[in-house]
Amino acid sequence: MVRAFGRERYEDEKFNAKNQRFSQLWIRLGKLLSVYWASGTLLTCLQVMVIVVIGACECVAGRMTLGTFVAFVTYNE
């Protein structure tokens, strides 16, 4: 039908423009998702690190037993 009215080039350009926009959106989504997942992983690692540091300090100071510390770290994960 498009060929019959000589609009093949117009329709092809229109399709390519929409396809280009769609590709750009997928690339942007991929970048956003990579930041999202990396941030989540970073926060999880920081949480474990803070718990280990504070727990170690509490154990050394005698305010927490080693068993309590190990249990807390285990429950956290």
- Per residue in 3-44, pLDDT tens? 666 778 888 899 999 999 999 999 999 999 999 999 999 999
Token readout for 66 is 């080693």
What is the span of the domain harbouring residue 29? 3-76
User: What's residue 44's pLDDT?
Assistant: 92
Phi, psi of 34 (to 5 degrees): -65, -40
Which of 49-69 are b and which e, b meaning 16 or more Cβ less than 10 Å from the residue's Cβ?
eeeeeebeeebeeeebeeeeb
Mean pLDDT of 46-62: 94
- The number of distinct structural domains making up the chain is 1
